[in-house]
Structure 1
Amino acid sequence: MTPRYTRHKRTTLAVATAVAAGALLSTGLTTSASAQVPTGAATLAAAPTDLTAAARTSLIQQAQAGVTETAQSIGLGAQEKLVVKDVVKDVDGTVHTRYERTYAGLPVLGGDLIVHTSKAGRTEGVTKAVKAAIKVASLTAKVTPAKAEKQAVGLAKDAGSAASAADQAPRKVIWAGNGTPVLAYETVVGGLQDDGTPNQLHVITDAATGKKLFEYQGIENATGTGKTLYSGTVSLTTTLSGSTYQLYDTTRGGHKTYNLAHKTSGTGTLFTDADNVWGTGTASSSTTDQTAAADAAYGAQETWDFYKATFGRSGIKNNGVGAYSRVHYGSNYVNAFWDDSCFCMTYGDGSGNNHPLTALDVAGHEMSHGVTSNTAGLNYSGESGGLNEATSDIFGTGVEFYANNASDKGDYLIGEKIDINGDGTPLRYMDKPSKDGGSADYWSSSVGNKDVHYSSGVANHFFYLLSEGSGAKTINGVSYNSPTYNGSAVTGIGRDKALQIWYKALTTYMTSTTNYKAARTATLNAASALYGSTSAEYKAVGAAWTAVNVS
């Protein structure tokens, strides 16, 4: 799939996958920036606990040791096996274990599931990406791997890739993403897309007929003093090595910020400085410019802190390990993207190489793709792709409000600082998505045919209504006027509660193939677990979905 950032241009942002106190370390001086903790937050029984890396690893190991018994207890077939992907433990002791599935040794794409277990160890429910039994008539392919590869390379070339072969030989899989499991090939083709974004096109080919079943893009369009372009003067956690400061944050999983100097591959060079003052507050086309790096480092630390303070999540994978950021990618590259394969965030410098896409909500948006990839794994196509994009908009917005930065106040506008359109308008509007000229305000049977950055409008609109309610209002100086499909008046429950509901739904109830109808169920399950099935919050979730025509 080719990503877009506006109805005229292309990108992964659409414009398109760590917190300890500062300390004096033996390797140098490290200090931390201040964090804003949401006020009025209460510990909820169904909220996730803050697991240490060791505790999380132990839970995963325990679950993996019992996969055979688990598979039997939930009724899987003799040829099916489970592989633990992630685990979430709630305050009340409930454990949600996310599994990938194999069949006769082959990966089952779209076969992921979550087992919900009580504190006492009882299985209380299972959430599956596909309800059908995993079974195929034959494991012998009628189509050759070469034919599958040719198809995938051709599709990648259509997206701008110059690659003449797949990154590796097509692998046999069971494709269950469309509901009926079939034997298939998965082929991954690299190179670059036609806008310069790295290509990681996954193509699923029916091994019996050669028909393309699915395709998705694996690239998802991320105390010194930082003089940033978008967020003013901020504090940045840095490390002193000898007499040189490094843009290296050891308090947040070891996040580093690198300079690609207009290259499109490699890690780049770690930013260093003599006086621990980074950037000038203005953009420059110079490849040594530190301003974009200051914005990127600030975005990474605020995103880490947001997830830690709001959900108790330690980093994108929840394992205490930080990603890294790269700035000055390519030349005149109007894009930013998260890449799971390098576990890194990358920013282009925009038109003229002096409009970097390093704004705070962009950083939060892109790095949230990493969170989605390591939790629900929402397929980046159709309605699940729209939910994937909306999740990044939702949490990117959460990061912006959390940072409480006077130069970039929290709002329900996406990409308003980077001025992609050139007229001061934002990239997307959450209160009324259609104001961007392409996004959907409400669900319809054709919404899944839209580009994922436009189909995301339904979930963005839902989140705004759930948070703030319908009608006209002004928040942080920005005027909103959110309509509803059925003309109903929706009363919001507040952004903090809406975020908790979306996060719990994503991490414990959504799967790779979740569509809008299933997202309604997932968020209702989350609201019920957090606040009760008779609560005002539960009722508000239902009302907000109805207001965007999802029932």
Structure 2
Amino acid sequence: MKRSATTGRLLTAATTLTVLAGTLAATVGPATAAPAAPAPPSALAAAVNAADAAAAAGLDALAKGPDESYQRQSVTPWVGGLYSVSYERTYKGLPVVGGDAVVLADAQGNVRSSQSASSGRIQGATTARISAQKAEKTARTKLSAVDSVASRRLVVRVKDGDSGRLAWETVLTGRNGDTPSTLHVFVDATTGEVIDSYDDVRAGTLNSKWNGPSPTINTTGSGSSYSLRDPGRPGLSCADNATGQVFTKSSDSWGNGSA
């Protein structure tokens, strides 16, 4: 009898513990892990965040007026853990052609350098007096044969440190004599005169080993940045076979004829 009573008490105790455990489980619920600490920003994010902050603040070469801002366009990994972040300048919402900027930042979120194509503040009205159609008609006179109008937009054209001129930028594709052309023509939106133009197609120099010695491919770019990408023939470019990266250079002269 004593043994039977002991067994009964053990069973009752076990049952009580089971019910108690179930009650606790229902009350407390499943265990919740402590929130993990936020992961540190990646090298790319740290560099971009620093560059964006510098552009927004208008530091040093990025100085800007109250109606101006910088819109990020691209991020290019560079050497030594650096990133080149490019920006397009805007004035009262209009693109500023000739006001581009570049910020060089590192993986630790430090701005190493900044440069802007224009240092002066933009001023002036943003309402065009000349229509886009009239500006296009004027722009067409700059090209001997026009195949199509690639684009047309109202911009502020900045050149040689001036305060900017409101203009219609018309991009024409066609030919200039025997040469293919992708011509940007800027027509003053107030006076209707042509104030500037430039062609995406330029005569560079190629020195190759097997094709040529001077094969023909139109290049893209201007100033101090060119790439071996043909703007008139989509998909035609010259790239590194190992990485697939299209070749770029500070001048429009390529190769030395050696494999």
TM over 0.5: yes
Give 1 or 2: higher helix fraction: 1
Contact kept, 8 Å, 2:118 with 2:158, in 1: the verdict is yes
Give, in whole Å, the separation in 2 of the partners of 1:145 and 1:370. Answer: 36
> Which of 148, 151, 156 does residue 138 from structure 2 map onto?
151
For normalisation by structure 1, the TM-score amounts to 0.30
Higher strand share: 2
Aligned to 1:89: 78
Per-residue CA distance 1:457-515 (angstroms, 9 max, x = gap): xxxxxxxxxxxxxxxxxxxxxxxxxxxxxxxxxxxxxxxxxxxxxxxxxxxxxxxxxxx
Q: Which amino acid aligns with 2:234?
A: C
Q: Does 1:67 align with 2:62?
A: no
Q: Which residue of 2 aligns with 1:121?
A: 109
Residues 377-409 of structure 1 show CA distances to partners (whole Å, capped at 9, x for unaligned) of xxxxxxxxxxx7xx122xx2xx22652xxxxxx
In structure 2, distance between residues paired with 1:68 and 1:341: 38
Name the aligned partner's letter for residue 167 of structure 2: A
Residues 85, 99 of structure 1: 8 Å contact kept: yes
How far did residue 191 of structure 1 move? 2.2
User: 2: distance between equivalents of 1:208 and 1:64?
Assistant: 39
- Residues 68 and 82 of structure 1 are in contact (CA less than 8 Å); yes or no, is this contact kept in structure 2? no
- Residue 180 of structure 2 aligns to a residue whose secondary structure is coil
Task: Report if aligned partners of 1:86, 1:97 keep a CA contact under 8 Å in 2.
Answer: yes
- Offset of residue 97 of structure 1: 2.3
CA distance in 1, matches of 2:124, 2:197: 24
Matches within 5 A, 1:38-117: 59=44, 63=48, 67=52, 70-74=55-59, 75-78=63-66, 79-91=68-80, 93-117=81-105
Separation of aligned partners in 1, 2:169 and 2:247? 21
Which amino acid in structure 1 is aligned with residue 155 of structure 2? V
Unaligned runs of 5+ in 2: 1-42, 217-226, 239-245
SS in 2 for 1:136: coil
In 1, are the aligned partners of 2:185 and 2:194 still within 8 Å (CA)?
Answer: yes
**2:145 paired with 1:161:** yes
Partner of 1:342: 234
- For the residue of structure 2 that corresponds to 1:126, the secondary structure is strand
Q: How many pairs does the alignment contain?
A: 191
> What is the one-letter code of the residue matched to 2:129?
K
Q: Which has the higher contact order (CA 8 A, sep 6+)?
A: 1
Runs (4 or more) in structure 1 with deviation over 4 Å come to: none
For normalisation by structure 2, the TM-score amounts to: 0.60
Which residues of structure 1 form unaligned runs of 5+? 1-57, 223-229, 233-294, 301-315, 318-322, 324-337, 347-368, 373-387, 404-551
Distance 2:231 2:142 in 1: 20
Within the alignment, does 1:200 sit opposite 2:188 as a pair?
no
Deviation digits for residues 263-306 of structure 1, max 9, x if unmatched? xxxxxxxxxxxxxxxxxxxxxxxxxxxxxxxx27xx89xxxxxx
Which amino acid in 2 is paired with 1:121?
G
**Which of 175, 197, 203 is residue 215 of structure 1 equivalent to?**
197
Displacement after TM superposition at 1:341 (Å): 6.5
Aligned to 2:252: 392
- Report the alpha carbon displacement of residue 204 of structure 1 after superposing the two structures with TM: 1.0
Code of the residue aligned with 2:181 in structure 1: it is N
The alignment partner of 2:142 has SS state of helix
Q: Percent identity?
A: 25
Kindly state the Cα deviation for residue 147 of structure 1 after the two structures are TM-superposed: 2.0
Deviation at 1:69, TM superposition (A): 5.5
2: distance between equivalents of 1:68 and 1:119?
Answer: 15
CA RMSD of aligned residues (A): 3.6
Residue pairs, 1:28-43, within 5 angstroms = none
1:474 corresponds to which residue? Answer: none
**Greater C-alpha radius of gyration:** 2
